[in-house]
Amino acid sequence: MELKSHPDVLIIGASTAGCATAESLRHEGFTGSITVLGNETSAPYNRPPLSKHVLLGEWESEKADIFTDGAAERASIDLHTDVTAHALNTAERSVSTSRGDISYGALVIATGARARQLPASVDPDHVALTLRTREDSVLLRERLENSRSVVVIGSGVLGSEIAAAARKKGCAVTIVGRSGALTLGSVRDLLTQRLERLHAQNDVELRLAEGVASITHDGTTAHVTLTSGEQLDADTVVAAVGAIPNVEWLESSGLTTSPALNCDSHGQCAENIYAVGDVAAWHDSRTGRWLPDEHQLTALQHSQAVARHIATGEKAEPPVPFFWSELYGVRFQAYGRFPAEAELVTTHGDRESGDFVALSMLDGLPHGVVASNMSRDFRQARPAVDATLSGTPAPATTTTPSTAPLGGQS
């Protein structure tokens, strides 16, 4: 299929955010032409199910597809895969791609991010696998099914999810984390003790505050040497050490990246140019910072806000960060902001060892809420966070109803 020379809206990146922008444009009543270009050869897919369902073998990878049963065609979305963007010319409103130049009326950048690789000095033979794409997930699932031991490098939420999946497959698992703490998305390291206990209960060994000096492979077993000198032997090694926004193709465009693409609080980074999802850092007027957010719900909110602006001219409020993860059957949910100077106050349950709800309190106001297996109380706390972040806070309370046990306060 040939590329249209001048779509009304050109979306670079067939990611969750890019495809959601196209669908949201139609939902907002936009009747112009929409073209979506993706650089992968397969159909567009959602990323969160890769580590939560596909890796566990609960889903076949095709179930993560975004467009099913001809949905893109019915919405008159001109979708092209296996197309790579090389450069953006903002003066001429055109993008150079592997299939020629294409001009646009409005441009939405949704090129996402890629998995950060370990340095070549540490892993010269690329022994460590990563988990970012559909192919990554299928390959890692196959490896886990044939492994007895796994080393996961990275103590963030993805590292914990991979460890939990490997334990479910019956593998012996060790997590290596350079930072010295287990982190949970935007909540950062505020729940380290809870996560440490959860991993310990599931027989995962932790090597925190440890770096990796080298990884070698003898043809049968991988050997991970830590900076302490300890050697960990494993059938499979996985690196979950973060992601890098895909912005290199924008180097000559004049747009600002640091490292994600800087946008205003409504997702606009230049005239008629927007960015959504993992590649974008939207401006937060409360802090004066550009805040990247790699969670899917934020990507969807970005997409809806940008689509509404393009279709109607209406500017939406910046999205409030939200994410969830499930580890060993325990569901964690977080909503809002968790500033370093805030105090995490438990209002229900026991934060250290059980189910709980906790508020991120700063100057007497709730800026965020995090919960473990207490979805109803989590939902009930969200309006107070919304009020704080919108600048119209109601009186805050961190008291616990008499029917709920109080524990774990800090």
Digits of tens for pLDDT over the chain (410 positions)? Answer: 567 778 999 999 999 999 999 999 999 999 999 999 999 999 999 988 999 899 988 999 999 999 998 999 999 999 999 999 999 999 999 999 999 999 999 999 999 999 999 999 999 999 999 999 999 999 999 999 999 999 999 999 999 999 999 999 999 999 999 999 999 988 999 999 999 999 999 999 999 999 999 999 999 999 999 999 999 999 999 999 999 999 999 999 999 998 999 999 899 999 999 999 999 999 877 777 787 777 788 889 999 999 999 999 998 777 888 989 999 999 999 999 998 899 999 999 999 889 999 999 999 999 999 999 999 999 999 999 999 988 776 544 444 332 332 223 22
| Packing angle, helices 296-312 and 16-27, rounded to 10 | 40
| Packing angle, helices 157-168 and 134-145, rounded to 10 | 40
What angle is formed at CA 404 by the lines to CA 160 and CA 388, rounded to 5 degrees? 70
- Spatial separation of the C-alpha atoms in residues 147 and 341, rounded to whole Å: 42
- What is the architecture, at CATH level 2, of domain 134-241? 3-Layer(bba) Sandwich (3.50)
**Tokens, residue 285:** 């007027």
Per DSSP, the three-state class of 217 is strand
**Tokens, residue 198:** 């959860």
C-alpha Rg value of the chain to the nearest Å: 22
pTM, whole model, 2 decimals? 0.91
- What is the architecture, at CATH level 2, of domain 9-114+244-312? 3-Layer(bba) Sandwich (3.50)
**Tokens, residue 244:** 């890098």
**Which amino acid type is present at position 370?**
V
Domain ranges across the chain: 9-114+244-312, 134-241, 329-390
- Spatial separation of the C-alpha atoms in residues 350 and 406, rounded to whole Å: 7
Contact 95, 87 (CB under 8 A): yes
291 phi and psi angles, rounded to 5 deg: -115, 110
- Spatial separation of the C-alpha atoms in residues 383 and 302, rounded to whole Å: 20
- Spatial separation of the C-alpha atoms in residues 82 and 78, rounded to whole Å: 14
- Spatial separation of the C-alpha atoms in residues 154 and 266, rounded to whole Å: 32
Q: What would the DSSP string read from start to end of 351-407?
A: TTTS-EEEEEEETTEEEEEEEES-HHHHHHHHHHHHHHHHT-PPPP-----TTS-B-
The CATH code for residues 329-390 is 3.30.390.30
- Spatial separation of the C-alpha atoms in residues 270 and 256, rounded to whole Å: 10
- Spatial separation of the C-alpha atoms in residues 344 and 351, rounded to whole Å: 10
Contact 296, 47 (CB under 8 A): yes
Outline where 171-313 has alpha helix (H). Answer: 192-201, 296-312
- Spatial separation of the C-alpha atoms in residues 146 and 26, rounded to whole Å: 45
pLDDT at 393: 63
Cβ-in-10-Å burial (0-12, 13-18, 19+) of 162 comes to buried
On the question of a common fold for 134-241 and 329-390, the answer reads no
**Which amino acid type is present at position 197?**
R
- Spatial separation of the C-alpha atoms in residues 183 and 163, rounded to whole Å: 14
- Within 8 A by CB and 6+ apart from 83, the residues are 3, 37, 38, 39, 97, 98, 99
pLDDT at 285: 75
